[in-house]
Amino acid sequence: MDKPLIVVNFKTYATASGEAAESLLNAMASHANGPASMVAAVSAFDLSTAASMASGVEVWSQHLDPVGLGGFTGWLEPTTALARGAAGTLINHAEHKVDLEHVAALLSMLPEGFPVCACAADVAEAKALATLSPTFIAVEPPELIGGDISVTTADPAIVSDTVAAVKAVNPNVRVLCGAGVKNGADVAKAIELGAEGVLLASGVTKATDVQAVLADLVSAL
C-alpha cells in the first residue's frame, strides 16, 4: 500500500482562501516527506497559485463538472482545471451533491490515472459509487461533518463496512473516511478500520496552530 493520505479540504473558509491558502499549503508542504501523502483540495480560484507553489503537496480541485469548453456558465470545466494544475478532484461532497450519472460522465472525460475521490454519505452510496471505479471513495456521514466527534469514534462500523462493501465491488478502489477527524488518534483508528487515509477540513483549516495539528495527524502512523 502507498502511504496513507491526509486530504485537507480547504472549502471556502477564510482561513484557507487566497493568501491564507498559501500559508496553509506551506504548512502542509513541511510535512510532505513524512509518513502520509499530503493532498490539498483547494478553491478553483486558488488552483493555479496552489499548484505552482505546493512542493510535495498534491493539489486537487474540490469539484469538477462533465462539460467541455463552450457555453457552460458557472460550471467547472475539467480541461482548464488540469491546465491550471489540478492533480485530482473531489466529487459528490455532502456540500455539493451530484447524481451517479454526473460522476460517471466526469470519469469518462478525465485522463487515465487522474485521481478522483467520490464522497459517500453511507455504505449504500459508497457501494453504488464503487461500480464506477473512482480512485478513492471517502465515506463521510453528513451529520458528523464539521463536528467535534470523529466518525471513527461515533460510527466506526460505517468505516469498516464501507471498506468491505467497496472492496467486494472493486478491490482496486481505495477507501478514505472523514467527518469530525481532528487528530492522530482518529487517523490511526481509520487505518485500523481498513481505510487508507482521511478527508478532513475544519480540524486543519480552523486550527490556531496548524503545524501542531498536522504533526499530530501523522504522529501515530
Residue 1 has pLDDT above 70, yes or no: no
Q: Quote the mean pLDDT of the chain.
A: 95
Query: For 160-182, how does the pLDDT look when each residue is reduced to its tens digit (9 = 90+)?
Result: 999 999 999 999 999 999 998 99
pLDDT band at 5 (very low <50, low <70, confident <90, very high): very high
Confidence of residue 55 (pLDDT cuts 50, 70, 90): confident
Q: How many CB atoms lie within 10 A of CB 130?
A: 23
Other CB atoms closer than 10 Å to residue 185's CB: what's the count?
Answer: 16
Tell me how far the alpha carbon of residue 185 is from its chain's centroid.
19
Does residue 94 surpass a pLDDT of 90?
yes
The predicted structure's pLDDT at residue 145: 87
Is the pLDDT at 84 greater than 70? The verdict is yes
How far from 28 is each of 13, 37, 74, 123, 151, CA to CA, in Å?
16, 10, 30, 30, 23
What average pLDDT does this structure show over 38-52? Answer: 97
β-strand partners of 177: 139, 198
- Residue 44 predicted with pLDDT over 60: yes
86, pLDDT greater than 90: yes
The whole-number average pLDDT for the span 26-37 is 95
86 vs 150, higher pLDDT: 86
Question: Among all residues, which ones are annotated catalytic?
Answer: 93, 140
38-47 mean pLDDT: 97
pLDDT at 146: 83
Q: What is the per-residue pLDDT for 148? A: 82
Q: Per-residue pLDDT averaged across 84-96, rounded?
A: 97
Model confidence pTM above 0.75: yes
Contacts of 219 (CB under 8 A, 6+ apart): 184
Domains of the chain: 5-217 (3.20.20.70)
| Strand spans (E) along the chain | 5-9, 37-42, 58-61, 89-91, 116-120, 136-139, 174-178, 197-200
Whether residue 119 is predicted with pLDDT greater than 80 in this model: the reply is: yes
